[in-house]
Structure 1
Amino acid sequence: MSRTTTAHPPRTARPLRTELRRGIGPAVGVATLAALLLAAYEKADDWLTGWSDTADMLRTAGLLLGAPLAAAAACWQGGRERRRGTEELLATAARPHLRRTLLAAAPVILWPVAGYLLTAAVCLSVTWRYASYGSPYASLIAADATAIAAIAALGFLAGRLVPWRLAPPLVAFVVFAVDPFIANQDSPVAWLSPGKEHIYSWDRPVWWFGPASMVWTAGLAAAVLLAYAARRRARAMALAPLAAAATAAVLIVQTGDGVWRPDPASAALVCDDGAPRVCVTRAHSRMLPDASAALAGLTAKLRTIPNAPTRIVDSLDDSEVRRADAPVSGLEYYFRRNEIVEPEMFAANAALGATTAPSCPGVSDEDRYNDLSEAVAEWLAPMPRPEPPIGQDAPGYTRDLERLKAMPDRERTRWLGTYFAAARSCRLEQVTAP
């Protein structure tokens, strides 16, 4: 008669499964998911543009909302045995102290991370509809999840060491305050903060930034956990993750702002077939149809003027901008989900870019030139402005604008051609009033 054997899960699987199912862990995971999804929904118009904006939103929300919540819950979990009065009983158990500590901390470490990762999955799937170019920054998502886990682990140890019922909200406040404080430092140290944001949507992180950030936060938490929970003879093992964390921190600080670098493929220009041509970066290429339509009136006027800009360019890459280009920046301010919401302001901003000369040294009468350039910009694409209060003096460019409007078409075209030629060559003294 043959015997049948039944496969049993490993010994460590049963206690871990039990810990994950009970207590506050699942509730914290659901709370983290709800808080992050709500924050993402409220700011959807700001980040539904591209992968870098989504990564910045997830990083900010995860570290400002998810991390304090995880730290507070972990701190409360850390004091569980003390509240139950079972510390002495557990100390006599055969299970090693480090293993008991990890099992007790697992729910409040893994569940918030799961809530963050599920939020990231939802946001990235939605971004796929709107991103013009590139792919998700998976290494940064993993680094943020690791940072949340590390902060939760430190919060758990605070709960073990601080016998005070108000410790959880205090720990949450410290996490909420310290990370932005580090991130706002005007030095490379700011990049040690998991919540540090970058600026440009056509940048991408260097390949090692995400892994180095993971080593920095995870190594620090692992060193503290080993120093607290490992056996006395084995506490020297804490030096290994501490050394790894220090090495990663030095690498990040020495690189500084270089952890984000321009991506030439993302910053490359995509242009329409108009005259002047409207060009946007590949990261904003889905905005090009609305941008061209919003600038149709401006380009129609520029088309007939000699020496006028030949392209209206959305780019901060100097190698892509020529002297005859009209730079326009900040498309995110005028577009929501790749559709323009402020066409008049966008056209007025482009007109200012078209009429503003490059940096010219030795300008003798800068106020006069500014009045002329604003008058030309107002004629090309008026800036939406409220009516000035009664009794307030009109802006200085108003007289030049009225003269420009009153000029015959042929004379105005000739004057504008002279103006653009003088502005481009930095010979502003040649520009006379209209």
Structure 2
Amino acid sequence: MSRATHRTGHAAGRTERATGRTGRAAEPPGPAGAPRRPGHAHSPRRAGPLLVELRRGAGLPAGAATLAVLLFTMFTKADEWLSGWTETTNMLRVAGLVLGAPLAAAVACWQGGRERRRRTEELLATVARPPLRQALLAAAPTVVWPVVGYLLTAVVCLAWTWQYANGDGPHVSLIVADATGIGSLAALGFVVGRVVPWRLAPPVVALVMYNIELLLSNQESGVSWLSPGKEHVTLWDRPVWWFGPVSMVWTAGLAAAALLAYAARRRARALALAPLAAAVTAAVLLAQTGDGLWRTNPANQALVCDEGTPRVCATRVHSRMLPDASRALAGLTAKLRGVPNAPTRIVEAPVDTQARRTDAALTGWDMYFRRNRIAEPEMFAANAAFAATSPRCRGVSDADRYSDLNEAVAEWLAPMPRPKDMPDRERTRWLGGYFAATRSCHPERVTAP
């Protein structure tokens, strides 16, 4: 065998071994000095700066803390809001804006002082990235994650409410506005952290925001609606369609103005006037409208009645309470059945709704129910009896006798629950103390039974 043939055989063997391992022919080497690239391998993509910021720092713990605090608060007060969409929205707003927002602002304030604590401010000044973009990236974790925590809380609570509530559905626009408010207040806290070189600034920011929320919401004028945590307690209303968007402009405009005034280049800082003007316009609109931000929803006030005599009627919002209400009032309706001139219906009446003259109107049904199940049937029946006998006449000649008659009839229809009797031993002991105190002329020693 010639040497050429021998070399060709060895080359073929090497080629066969290479293709046997990979299943394909080996790629030819690149030009001299060029890096080798495998045929189908891709170098991993580097995460963008926003994703890097979101994964580190105090943002993710802040979001987890917000979620934990809000879920705990909502869970401990579940009996107060699980019966309707308005109650759920109100409790989410109070918990999110009064508790969650100050927490988010405090953490964002701490995040704002990060570069100062690390002594990297001069180094960042040499980076080609614009100052506004640097500030937005640094603020993102403590703005985004608390908002995510609030939205997750809202999803859990709305899903839980679905099995109990009737009416026109959740007020999603207000929930989005509340999430915007939490993020906006966190952004304001971040700016304070950048400007104020004080380690106690975060708790002070949380305390100030908490008190400002309470101060605004407790005002007796339309200014109270400038508080993102302002609560609305009328269960049959719905917000006007623009309430949520205008609230978003109010809070987000303040945050955008603060960020631009702090971080924009000198020539561009005048741009902060645009979001500030939008925020002021939104604030004026909210304050001037006041309680008109909520309007009566006739569909929610519509009555749903049973087939009894007299009929028991609940509003559509509380229609799932009707079966228990009918059972609790069975004794009362039995006594009224067939009585001439007696009320023909016992109805749940919203405060601003006038019932018919032949109705017994009872307000505050939700006080006697927990998750649509009646919790105080005897007290509910007693108050319905008082509603059936409530004074309808004004200026009668003998008002005291008229009142006594009404109370007597109400007591017969549904007696007011009485305290439970004492056990025999406790009664004997109490009576012994009573007689001893009265004989010695020291009645102050007698404790209440």
Calculate the TM-score normalised by the size of structure 2. Answer: 0.83
Which amino acid in structure 2 is aligned with residue 88 of structure 1? E
SS at match of 1:304: coil
Which amino acid in structure 2 is aligned with residue 384 of structure 1? P
**Per the alignment, do residues 71 and 295 of structure 1 end up closer, same or farther by CA in structure 2, a change over 3 Å counting?**
same
Report the equivalent of 1:361. Answer: 394
Report the equivalent of 1:263. Answer: 297
Give 1:98's match in structure 2, choosing from 132, 138, 143.
132
2:209 maps to 1:137: no
Report the equivalent of 1:81. Answer: 115
1:351 deviates by: 0.5
Report the equivalent of 1:383. Answer: 416
Whether the 8 Å contact between 2:109 and 2:192 is mirrored in structure 1 is yes
1:386 deviates by: 3.0
2:159 maps to 1:159: no
Report the equivalent of 1:60. Answer: 94
Report the equivalent of 2:30. Answer: none
1:380-419 mapped onto 2 (5 Å cutoff)? 380-386=413-419
1: CA distance, partners of 2:157 / 2:282 = 29
1:30-429 mapped onto 2 (5 Å cutoff)? 30-316=64-350, 321-358=355-392, 360-386=393-419
Encode CA deviations 1:358-408: one digit per residue, 9 max, x unaligned.
3x43233333222221111111001113389999xxxxxxxxxxxxxxxxx
1:180 deviates by: 1.2
Encode CA deviations 1:91-117: one digit per residue, 9 max, x unaligned.
121111100000000000000000000
Q: Which of structures 1 and 2 has the bigger CA Rg? A: 2
2: CA distance, partners of 1:203 / 1:8 = 54
Report the equivalent of 1:409. Answer: none
What is the aligned length?
388
SS at match of 1:278: strand
1:6 deviates by: 7.1
**Per the alignment, do residues 117 and 301 of structure 1 end up closer, same or farther by CA in structure 2, a change over 3 Å counting?**
same
Whether the 8 Å contact between 1:269 and 1:320 is mirrored in structure 2 is no
**Per the alignment, do residues 218 and 318 of structure 1 end up closer, same or farther by CA in structure 2, a change over 3 Å counting?**
closer
Whether the 8 Å contact between 2:90 and 2:233 is mirrored in structure 1 is no
Which amino acid in structure 2 is aligned with residue 250 of structure 1? V
1: CA distance, partners of 2:317 / 2:193 = 45
Calculate the TM-score normalised by the size of structure 1. Answer: 0.86
2: CA distance, partners of 1:208 / 1:59 = 17
**Per the alignment, do residues 317 and 270 of structure 1 end up closer, same or farther by CA in structure 2, a change over 3 Å counting?**
farther
Whether the 8 Å contact between 2:87 and 2:233 is mirrored in structure 1 is no
Encode CA deviations 1:266-319: one digit per residue, 9 max, x unaligned.
110000011110001000000000000100000111113211110001022666
1:64 deviates by: 1.6
Which amino acid in structure 2 is aligned with residue 309 of structure 1? P
Whether the 8 Å contact between 1:205 and 1:261 is mirrored in structure 2 is yes
Whether the 8 Å contact between 2:83 and 2:371 is mirrored in structure 1 is yes
Encode CA deviations 1:183-225: one digit per residue, 9 max, x unaligned.
0100000011111111111111111101110010001111111
Which amino acid in structure 2 is aligned with residue 364 of structure 1? S
1:5 deviates by: 11
SS at match of 2:360: strand
Unaligned runs of 5+ in 1: 392-434
Which amino acid in structure 1 is aligned with residue 327 of structure 2? A
Encode CA deviations 1:32-81: one digit per residue, 9 max, x unaligned.
10110000110011110011000001000001211111011001001101
SS at match of 2:48: helix
1: CA distance, partners of 2:382 / 2:371 = 21
2: CA distance, partners of 1:6 / 1:326 = 77
2: CA distance, partners of 1:300 / 1:224 = 66
Whether the 8 Å contact between 1:268 and 1:320 is mirrored in structure 2 is no
Whether the 8 Å contact between 1:75 and 1:155 is mirrored in structure 2 is yes
2: CA distance, partners of 1:220 / 1:183 = 18
Backbone CA RMSD of aligned residues: 2.2
Encode CA deviations 1:390-432: one digit per residue, 9 max, x unaligned.
99xxxxxxxxxxxxxxxxxxxxxxxxxxxxxxxxxxxxxxxxx
Work out the percentage of aligned pairs sharing the same amino acid: 68
Unaligned runs of 5+ in 2: 1-26, 28-36, 422-429, 435-449
Whether the 8 Å contact between 1:51 and 1:137 is mirrored in structure 2 is yes
1:352 deviates by: 0.6
